Amino acid sequence: RKEVEQDPGPFNVPEGATVAFNCTYSNSASQSFFWYRQDCRKEPKLLMSVYSSGNEDGRFTAQLNRASQYISLLIRDSKLSDSATYLCVVRCLDTGGFKTIFGAGTRLFVKA
């Protein structure tokens, strides 16, 4: 089982739609969680950190469910510019110390 798993997609949605991605992690000692966005042939960029109480940034809402070991990202009122790959990132305690694990990403296409 992968340490961080994401549905690769692609998710194809019309402009204005609401779309949600989930990401599961296997290490119960995970402590920090992030969502990144990566455009085609570009570097990943931090979208938002994920806090235990959940957090919102404009049209984006991130939530953490420690009991079920997953995080989610909700995008409301999708824009064409939201088309990208969304990476789930988890920082966890391993035998050698802390490590950061990147999921393989979920591709989103928003169409006019």
**In the set 13, 22, 91, 109, which binds other proteins (CB under 8 A)?**
91
* Contact pattern from residue 18 through residue 37 relative to other proteins, giving x for each residue in contact according to CB under 8 A and a dash for the rest: --------------x-x---
Rounded distance, CA 69 to CA 81, Å?
30
Calpha distance 62→55 (Å, rounded): 5
Q: How far apart are CA 62 and CA 41, in angstroms?
A: 25
- Does 49 bind other proteins (CB under 8 A)? Our answer is yes
Contacts with other proteins, residue ranges (CB under 8 A): 32, 34, 41-46, 49, 87, 89, 91, 98-100, 102-105
